[in-house]
């Protein structure tokens, strides 16, 4: 005896999106899958080992320390130049051994006084022996035509100052920084005050 299924009891076909399999992956191409926890942990371990090996080597490289010192000097010189232009009065940088100080005064007859650092609100003086992360860097030489005081006028043009006479730079001023056997020279161009590193 054969039983006939009632038309309403037949199973309705499963509706599928065109081009998709039962699991929802595209028939063409490779199925997508995520990373497993083991794979992620392996990547983290590899990155940790790489950073432990590479970062100490970077921290001891003399060329990077010298480049950082040169960038710091340029930043401070640019700040001095910008202050001279914005305040419309001369601003100075005095080099003494391994230290330089940013100076200013109200008139050309007043004594030079150190300006205040905009961040730490202390005297704007930089000593190379005290710079964390730049151990071993030093100012090798400073040449602005003789005087160790250098400055910018209200137009941003550089000059050398010996305490009594202002002398516009006739050639590029140079500050040589060194760490180990690596040396860089910060140059300040006459008239424009443009700065570069060589």
pLDDT reported for residue 167 = 93
Q: 1-53: per-residue pLDDT in tens? A: 555 555 555 555 554 544 445 555 555 555 667 778 777 777 787 777 766 66
Distance CA 159, CA 92 (A): 9
Return the number of other C-beta atoms located less than 10 Å from residue 114's C-beta.
15
Q: What pLDDT was estimated at residue 129?
A: 72
Identify the structural domains of the chain with CATH numbers, from first to last. 62-197 (3.55.40.10)
pLDDT digits (tens, 9 = 90+) for 145-171: 888 899 999 999 999 999 899 999 999
pLDDT at residue number 7: 52
User: For residue 61, what pLDDT band results from cuts at 50, 70 and 90?
Assistant: confident
Mean predicted confidence (pLDDT) in 73-81: 94
Question: What is the distance between the alpha carbons of residues 22 and 14, in angstroms, rounded to a whole number?
Answer: 9
Which span out of 1-15, 72-86, 135-149 was modeled with the highest average pLDDT? 72-86
Q: Assess whether pLDDT exceeds 90 at residue 134.
A: no
Please give the pLDDT value at position 55: 53
Tokens linked to 179 = 């760490």
Angle made by CA atoms 147, 153, 156, in degrees to the nearest 5: 110
């Amino acid at each position: 005896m054969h039983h006939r299924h009632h038309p309403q009891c037949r199973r309705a076909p499963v509706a599928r999106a065109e081009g998709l399999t039962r699991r929802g992956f595209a028939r063409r191409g490779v199925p997508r899958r995520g990373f497993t926890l083991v794979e992620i942990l392996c990547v983290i371990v590899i990155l940790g080992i790489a950073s432990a090996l590479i970062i100490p080597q970077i921290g001891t490289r003399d060329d990077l320390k010298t480049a950082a010192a040169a960038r710091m000097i340029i930043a401070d010189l640019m700040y001095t130049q910008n202050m001279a232009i914005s305040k419309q009065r001369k601003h100075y940088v005095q080099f003494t051994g391994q230290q330089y100080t940013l100076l200013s005064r109200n008139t050309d007859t007043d004594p030079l006084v150190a300006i205040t650092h905009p961040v730490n609100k202390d005297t704007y003086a930089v000593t190379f022996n005290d710079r964390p992360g730049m151990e071993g860097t030093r100012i090798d030489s400073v040449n602005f035509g003789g005087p160790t005081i250098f400055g910018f006028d209200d137009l941003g043009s550089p000059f050398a100052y010996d305490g009594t006479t202002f002398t516009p730079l006739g050639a590029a001023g140079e500050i040589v920084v060194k760490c180990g056997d690596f040396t860089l020279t910060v140059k300040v161009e006459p008239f424009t005050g443009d700065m570069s590193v060589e």
